Amino acid sequence: MNPIKVLLADDHDVVRKGMKMLLEDEEGVTVIGEASDGADAVEKVRVLLPDVVILDLTMPKMTGIEAAAIISQEFPSVKILIFSMHNNREYIINSVENGANGYLLKDTSKEELLRALTVVSEGRKYFPPEISEVIIDELLAKSGNGNASIPVDAKAIFQKITPKERQILDLIIQGYNSREIADKLFLSIRTVDNHRANMMKKTKAKNTADLVKMAIQ
């Protein structure tokens, strides 16, 4: 299996160097470049075509959110993982709306960073519990206000699913499979799969990927 090609974008040199040292210890990851601001990140993506770009949000010349919007539009195959100190609803929602495939806080563990890299490089989404809760709460708030920009199926998912199904959906969004979810929630795999099936039936989702797409749109 080819290593995940990563571009690091952060205006703090110490942070970039520290992340590079951390990631270069891993066989499945290769850091192919660094960028010191958002504009530099966009240019480096155009030249290097990484699998994943790890973006800070507050950078000079161009913010991480602005860079994410350009990268996601021009290079949809390049996955975007936000790595930020901001556990702030506005930053999180804006990041997702502008193409972020994942969002991590800078106090995250090495293990979670590596898991997030793997998950987003495979084309899935990765949001840890505290982040996915913000996203889902935002969608719930919009749904409650009758916001027409929220798809009908997305409204249905939050209006109809049970608390346990929401808990399972949170973990699905983070990239966990049925066995891992079962272990975390002390359930059987069959019970988890039944909850998946019930959610898809309620929302008319065609598959799990469709269900997740509805949840994070």
Q: Which domains does the chain have, with CATH numbers?
A: 4-124 (3.40.50.2300), 131-216 (1.10.10.10)
pLDDT the model gives residue 144? 53
pLDDT the model gives residue 155? 52
pLDDT the model gives residue 68? 93
* 65 and 94 Cβ atoms separated by less than 8 Å: yes
pLDDT tens track, the chain, 217 positions: 789 999 999 999 998 998 899 898 888 899 999 999 999 999 999 999 999 999 998 888 888 889 999 999 999 999 999 998 887 778 888 888 888 999 998 888 888 899 899 989 988 888 877 676 666 666 656 555 444 444 444 555 566 788 888 888 888 877 788 888 888 888 888 888 888 888 888 877 776 766 777 776 5
DSSP state of 76: T
DSSP state of 8: E
pLDDT the model gives residue 47? 94
Dihedral sign for Cα 74, 175, 83, 17, please. negative
Calculate ∠ Cα 115-40-100, nearest 5°: 35
Amino acid letter, 184: K
pLDDT the model gives residue 146? 42
Is the full-model pTM beyond 0.85? Answer: no
pLDDT the model gives residue 91? 83
Transcribe 129-175 into DSSP letters.
HHHHHHHHHHHHHHHHTT-TTS-HHHHHHHHH--HHHHHHHHHHHTT
